[in-house]
Structure 1
Amino acid sequence: MDDNKTLMEAFKQAPYPLGGHGKRNIQILKEAFREIDGSLPSDMYGKGEIIEDFQARMADVLGKEAAVFFPSGTMAQQIALRIWCDANGLPRVAYHPLCHLEIHEEDGLKKLHRIEPVLLADKHRLITLEDVMRLQEDISCLLLELPQREIGGQLPAYEELEAISAWCRDKGIKLHLDGARLFEILPYYRKSAAEICRLFDSVYISFYKGIGGIAGAILAGDEPFVQEAKVWKRRHGGDLISLYPYIVSSDYYFQQRIDKMDPYYRDAKQLAGLFNQCNGVATLPEVPVSNMFHVHFQLPKETVEPLLIGVYESTGIGFTSYLRDNDAAGCFFELSLGDAYADVPEDRMKLALRMLSDKLKESAMEKSTTS
């Protein structure tokens, strides 16, 4: 084993990565355009058949009156919350402490829109109806993320969602869905996207995560909401002269993968079960509720990284390109299954997991004898 090789380098060289749909390269766009008629007119500043048809179809999928295509979900969600706050005359919203807007957007909601967030629940668990009912501050909108990515992609019971939705409507609080991975949770809930979205006043979905497009998002709601969102999209600079590369790839990969979410989900449950048989490894959730889950190690990152590199080089199986420290002494990574998993040889995968388990057991024993 090359002692100077990083985990990222070893992962890139592994021919069989477990997660995702394969390498994100220019081929993604080339494949999406392979059968597109080159004479098809592009969209221009949010208008044209290519964007308007796609928006209408996505509105229908989500069970909403209208939808608008955005180049990014960050833009879409900040605008959704701004609209609800303006409508209520109160610039305050509530969401989970590990919400994307709170930890990944450089305080965009606060700096650009002067909206105050209220953080609900402990960061290690989901928001519950009780948390919402105990709110001390008045809010204009509550944001729920399904699944809650930063805690392993956990989901509340559907009955809990219905109760939160009913409570918010009774109190005049708008409910917004961060549905970046909405389609990935449909197999667990055994509901359609429209059935879930019916509980929410506005919905955001992503086209580059489980769908695997190059970029892009949809924001959906009633007609007045979407018309106002289009104005804010222009204000944010999101009305590019043309968005068709994003739209074409979003549409193409949506059609390719929307019916594969159930196999991805089954694969995730099977793989998580194998990880949980390894020494010093546990998944969160123990049984996944979508195609994603977190893999936690009891040993620290500096111990686990060289073990993973050795497994990658010996078997060709790549688990992850990174490890993150957790709140305890260990580390973890996130895994989302897609098309790539079908190409992984089962015998190699099981060998890789056995090797990992043996290496972790040996390292844990060495640590206990020297401590």
Structure 2
Amino acid sequence: MNEMKTLLQAFNEAPYPVGGHGKRNVRVLQEVLKEIDENLDSDVYGKGDIIEDFQGRMADFLGKESAVFFPSGTMAQQIALRIWCDRKGLPKIAYHPLSHLEIHEEDGLKKLHHIEPILLADKTRVIGLEDIMNLQEDIACLLLELPQREIGGQLPDYQELEAISAYCRERGIKLHLDGARLFESTPYYRKSAAEICRLFDSVYVSFYKGIGGIAGAILAGDKEFVRESKVWKRRHGGDLISLYPYILSADYYFMQRIDKMEQYYNEARELADLYNQCSGVTIRPIEPVSNMFHVHVEVSKEHLESIFVNIYEKTGIGFTRYLQETSENSCYFEVSIGDSYADLPKDRLREAFHLLNQELSILI
């Protein structure tokens, strides 16, 4: 019965999830390995053709001299910031209050590297040039996240990015890009990844988010920066004897999906239009600037869970697996478009939105 089933259970049973690339199960790796020569040599402690070729191609794609593969972005970014702070002899950096480093890493930057973060801008918008110009103290590095996930994937104007980059270079401030979803921002900017990365001294990109690999990240910059980052990677225990399952999946799904970013962006805008027609629903940002956005609903989490479970069972459409409460009478969830959206039966999707609007209109 609906009242006995959780939202997550109902979502997992729904045959048509709206977001993502499908379930993250062993199939993700099996698909990669089915055409790989079983005699292909693995990487060994960061050496070997598998890892070195991939690193070289990613450096070229990002327009940087060199790149190194990491098992996680958390490790890669802390190391990047440590290098820039050591170079300047100043353990201070600046980033957004909702940066991954601030809210998801258990103070790793502070506890492991003794680096003091300075928070810029408020929690509702991206960092702008004025925020940086108003800094009251020196910093070694500024981190910008493109797009800013925790506020719905917002992006600054490209001209603002250029101005920030020029300002930082004039004042000797290193500029680091948290590009966890960099690839997903390229359609909005109408720029290549390399063009965007040229504005930054160092760049991190993820291979399990929009790309949909198992795990892993690339950190890119000039040759000396990458050489230092490899030393820190060893110190952090990131030099696993072999990383090839991560590298092979990153490579495979990168080739499968890098040219679909425009498609995902357009589909996100299409889906946002459907949400915008529902009573009590607000999209943030109002128009998506990447493949992701947040859906805020003026209904309690408990009520919306019940509505969603009913819709999932009637239509097979799964909107989301979770809801985040914002007040007693409101909640939100994140949408991130991948391969799954193109496979949705559009008649069922329209029916699901009809039911959603119908139920919300009664409550609001």
TM over 0.5, shorter chain: yes
Amino acid at match of 1:20: G
Partner residue in 2 for 1:341: 341
Shift of 1:300: 1.7
Task: Give the ranges of 4+ consecutive aligned residues of structure 1 lying more than 4 Å apart after TM superposition.
Answer: none
Partners of 2:256 and 2:56 in 1: CA distance: 19
Per-residue CA distance 1:264-301 (angstroms, 9 max, x = gap)? 11100011001000111111111100110111101121
Q: Cα–Cα, structure 1 residues 143 and 327, in superposed 2: closer, same or farther, change >3 Å? A: farther
Per-residue CA distance 1:122-164 (angstroms, 9 max, x = gap)? 0111111000000012100000000000000000000000000
Partners of 2:2 and 2:192 in 1: CA distance: 49
The worse-fitting range, judged by mean Cα deviation, of 280-289 and 204-213 is 280-289
Partners of 1:199 and 1:327 in 2: CA distance: 39
Amino acid at match of 1:119: L
Partners of 2:360 and 2:293 in 1: CA distance: 20
Partner residue in 2 for 1:158: 158
Summarize the alignment of residues 161-172 of structure 1 with structure 2, pairs less than 5 Å apart: 161-172=161-172
Q: Calculate the TM-score normalised by the size of structure 1.
A: 0.97
Partner residue in 1 for 2:178: 178
Q: Calculate the TM-score normalised by the size of structure 2.
A: 0.99
Shift of 1:330: 1.1
Partner residue in 1 for 2:294: 294
SS across alignment from 1:102: helix
RMSD, aligned CA: 0.8
Amino acid at match of 2:199: L
Shift of 1:33: 1.1
Shift of 1:329: 4.0
Per-residue CA distance 1:28-79 (angstroms, 9 max, x = gap)? 0010111111111110000011100000000000000000000000000000
Amino acid at match of 2:230: K
Summarize the alignment of residues 63-142 of structure 1 with structure 2, pairs less than 5 Å apart: 63-142=63-142
Partners of 2:219 and 2:349 in 1: CA distance: 39
Shift of 1:326: 2.4
Partner residue in 2 for 1:149: 149
Amino acid at match of 2:269: K
Partners of 1:347 and 1:51 in 2: CA distance: 45
Partners of 2:305 and 2:137 in 1: CA distance: 44
Partners of 2:4 and 2:363 in 1: CA distance: 20
For the pair 1:209 / 2:209, whether they are aligned, the reply is yes
SS across alignment from 1:93: strand
| Identity value in percent | 71
Partner residue in 1 for 2:6: 6
Partner residue in 2 for 1:321: 321
Partners of 1:131 and 1:299 in 2: CA distance: 35
Partner residue in 2 for 1:368: none
